Amino acid sequence: MKKNKVISAREAIALIRENDVVTTTGFVQSCIPEALHAALEERFVETGSPKNLTLIMTAGAGDSKGLGTGRLHHEGLLGRVIAANFGRMPKVAQAAKENRIRGYNLPQGVISQLYRACAAGQPGLFSKVGLHTYVDPRHGGGRVNELTSDDIVKVVEVDGEEWLFYTATKIDVAFIRGTSADPHGNISMEKEALTLDVLAQAMAARNNGGIVIAQVERIVEDGFLLPKDVRVPGILVDCVVVAEPEMHRMNYGVMHNPALAGQIRVPVANMAKMPLDARKVIARRAAFELPPNGVVNLGVGAPEGISAVANEERVTPYITLTTEAGAVGGVLASGSSFGAATNADCIIDQNQMFDFYDGGGLDMTCLGMAECDEEGNVNTSSFGGKLNGCGGFINISQNARSVVFAGTFTVGGLDVAIEDSRLVIRQEGRSRKFIRQVEQNTFSGPYAKQRSQPVIYVTERCVFELTPEGLELTEIAPGVDIHRDILAHMDFKPIINRPKMMDIRIFRDEPMDLLADLLNLNLCERVSYDADRNMLFLNLEGWHCRSKEDIADLRKVLVDACEKAGKRVKSVVNHDGFKLSESLYDDYAEMIQYLLENYYETTTRYATNAFLRLKMQEALKRRGVAPHVFERKEDAHAFLEATANAANKARRSETAAA
């Protein structure tokens, strides 16, 4: 006969021994087994035991003020921490900074996937995530202090490629959380916002001979739970603890929201509109990078605003927003509910989401930035004397097909306003973000350049782009002076060619008609034809070609214009500020070849971006097309004029000879 596994929190916590390795679930402020954390804290304060625990966790799980894993700060309770985020347990982070405990700050996705390795009895995990960042053993190996000496990350070579090998740490105790449990420990999660890694954590502890303690809000009769509703089977669970309602909130700011749990769908058309401030300016500019029909991840902070902007602009149905915590689709939640989503299409386990991310499934991500340097390196993990941790940042930023870093230009007292479609800086921030060298490298600019990964950096006053030569200033907000408001507040001088003005629509408190831009509905307005000179002008300034569908839309617009002209035309194309995804150069060159063969008499183009010119010239040469790509408009027009004069001269010579 199966035993009843329901016991008190005190009885469950009494099973933990000194020196045990404990893992717990939770994401930011959601899905935290608060009753178990509280009981562990209470036992230690009362008895001084268990001592010297190792805590393993993925994302931060707390309110940054002492709840969640923040309860485990007491001297002697923890001896080692392996975590992606330390920011939500500041006293534990301080202990690590002061060399009172050993600690490792590893990528969230790596820790999440290591649970599966532990469950399967494997020695660890091979991953490229973390190469050339502070996690790389050549740059620190993820150790957070001098006290931490053991290497748990190694560089290995497989078939001529570098990989990181992360050593798995066997787990003795797993704290998990669900909604309902039957007396035999079968766990369902119908009222939870996320499923996270509870199944993998339970397997990891169980297969190591450890114990699994599940916190739930209610006990149901045996046989009540449908098999497909059970997310953790009772064979993996040793103890079930029923928590008081206050200890089982959906998150610290919400007792329960059925829309976040996927129990109902709610209308979102009337969501509150963001005020037009610095945060919205950043979110609006970043939203221009959204890939139609693409999969997107948004980080915490300034990037969260993109979800609201997308909803305002009616773009949400054309993109799929995701969170590393496992939410797919819907409108991403913010604040205490960050990581969840209203009206999500589905919720998958966190480790599965990181499989998708690491394999290149993300078309775009927008993440925050605390520091950035002239190499394009970004720091979000350790700055200003604080150990924050990388969270999922490294997995996401290294593997997304395009990356947008977003945040204010300075921080600490920054006060800006939008007046008459212009940015006004009322008070500058006390601290600079664009510095000579980042304190810790959470994102490697050189590694991104090596892999030709598109990266831009969006602030309220300007935009930078990572180019082969370094960080280039490409856009400036209206009302901003480049020397007074930008260069004077940076520790280095970026590359400056011909920065353009940020789209004026961003600074007007009215809809931007972003959907038309993303779906190329206004593309025809970029084409004009001068019948007297038989010249077709195509202005692609600021246009972002993200997909083969974009190329198909452009081809159709050009073919329609040429057929309307009724004869072969001379074509001039402005590529200033034009962006072409790395994988599309050959497809773009194929379109040019097709137009030359069927519609163009001759064509020329210009772009101030040297890298774009080089890549385009290479792509055209491969197709046997003359690579006429100039730096200046005047040179392009002069070439076209010279070509036309030569052709006229040749025709006159032929006529005279006849």
Active site residues: 324
- Reported for 619-624, long-range contacts at CB under 8 A and 24+ positions apart, including other chains, are 619/585, 619/586, 619/588, 619/589, 620/589, 620/592, 620/593, 622/586, 622/589, 623/586, 623/589, 623/590, 623/592, 623/593, 624/593
Beta-carbon contacts of residue 325 (< 8 Å; ≥ 6 apart): 27, 28, 30, 59, 194, 196, 339, 340, 350, 353
Bridge partners (DSSP) of residue 368 are 406
Cα three-residue angle 541-443-427, rounded to 5 degrees: 70
In this structure, what DSSP letter does residue 257 have? -
Closest CA to 250 of 452, 549, 33: 33
Residue owning tokens 């066997």: 170
Backbone CA torsion sign across 200, 201, 202, 207: positive
Residue 60, SS3 per DSSP: coil
Q: CB of 30 within 8 A of CB of 337?
A: yes
Per-residue three-class SS string for 507-569: HCCCCCCHHHHHCCCCHHHHEEEECCCCEEEEECCCCEECCHHHHHHHHHHHHHHHHHHCCCE
Closest CA to 21 of 69, 48, 55: 55
What is 373-438 written as a DSSP string?
Answer: -TT--EE-SEETTEE---TTHHHHHHHSSSEEEE--SEESS-EEEEETTEEEEEE--SEESB-SS-
Listed in order, strand segments (DSSP E) in 251-402 are: 295-298, 320-322, 327-328, 331-332, 341-342, 346-347, 364-368, 371-372, 378-379, 382-383, 386-387
In this structure, what DSSP letter does residue 484 have? I
